[in-house]
Amino acid sequence: MRIATWNVNSVRQRTEHLLRYLRDVEPDVLCLQELKCVDDAFPRAEVEALGYNVATHGQKGFNGVAILSRTPLEVEHGLPGDPDDEQARYIEALTPLGDGVIRVASIYLPNGNPPTTDKFAYKLAFMDRLITHAASLLALEEPLVLAGDYNVIPTAQDCADPAAWAGDALFLPETRARFRALLNLGLTDALRAATDDGGLYTFWDYQAGAWQKNKGIRIDHLLLSPSAADRLNSVTIDKQRRGEDKPSDHVPIRIDLI
């Protein structure tokens, strides 16, 4: 099974990018973030025409997450723990895997900047809720993939210029500590299970020639439960997508499970 995650940074602006990726890479499951549209505005018909089931959790102009799957989906919308949170940042689904099921979530974690504002407090609270929910999912002992744009740079190895990110919410100690707490539940960072290499990024800013200078960061992650990690065969960052015309500032990252 091939599972990918991609912050498309406006699905309506990048519908052709999305359809091309589905045709070229043929993921069994694709998790999308930052749709920036309501559910009815998602290009459902075009995606379904390629053989995918579509589950969305949209929001006008901001946020928004989706799961596309070649097999049927049993869907839950929203991250538990705060009934007043109206931001569309989490969607979760069960889908068949062999003679069983796999649970996949598409996550768009808050950016949190500036760190001196309520935005950072919201980021940390969201991460705390995610830790609590992930612990409950791991107790089910199913294959589980928590995929998405975490807006977390886990280590200095995951950015081209650590000093430039020292005061950023993506790299602050509180943020990285919560990411480690997620991993310490028993989750595996798929990329780091496959390689210790540096220079592997999933995001390049549109400004200051970041793409041309390879001044990137790794903030898009697939975290795997033990039974999913046991099936891990390969991890691929589809870096070339950043060089397309009018691309997202993120690129897809995908895993193959046996």
**Global pTM?**
0.97
Whether 108 is a known active-site residue: answer yes
Position 135 confidence tier, pLDDT thresholds 50, 70, 90: very high
Pairing state between β 220-224 and 144-149: antiparallel
Burial 225-242 (b: 16+ CB within 10 A, else e): beebbebbeebebbbebb
pLDDT in tens, 52-102: 999 999 999 999 999 999 999 999 999 999 999 999 999 999 999 988 999
Mean pLDDT of 118-145: 98
Q: 34: annotated binding-site residue?
A: yes
Strand (E) or helix (H) holding 15: helix 15-25
* 254: nearest Cα among 243, 246, 239: 239
Please report the pLDDT score of residue 210 as a whole number: 96
Q: Residue 87, Cβ neighbours under 10 Å: how many? A: 17
Q: 233: annotated binding-site residue?
A: no
pLDDT in tens, 144-197: 999 999 999 999 999 999 999 999 999 999 999 999 999 999 999 999 999 999
Q: 197: annotated binding-site residue?
A: no
CA distance to 10, 62, 112, 192, 231, per residue, from 34 (Å): 6, 7, 15, 25, 28
Q: 111: annotated binding-site residue?
A: no
Q: 113: annotated binding-site residue?
A: no
Spatial separation of the C-alpha atoms in residues 113 and 31, rounded to whole Å: 24
Whether 250 is a known active-site residue: answer yes
Active-site position among 17, 28, 149, 221: 149
Active-site position among 108, 168, 201, 221: 108
Q: What is the mean pLDDT of the chain?
A: 97
Q: Tokens 């891990």, residue? A: 232
Kindly list the structural domains of the chain, giving each domain's residue range(s) and its CATH number in brackets, ordered by start: 2-257 (3.60.10.10)
CA-based torsion, 254, 206, 178, 162: positive or negative: positive
Spatial separation of the C-alpha atoms in residues 124 and 134, rounded to whole Å: 15
* CA 83 to chain CA centroid, nearest Å: 22
Spatial separation of the C-alpha atoms in residues 209 and 205, rounded to whole Å: 8
Helices (H), 102-186: 118-138, 173-184
SS3 14: coil
**Furthest-apart CA atoms within the chain: distance in Å:** 49
Please report the pLDDT score of residue 98 as a whole number: 85
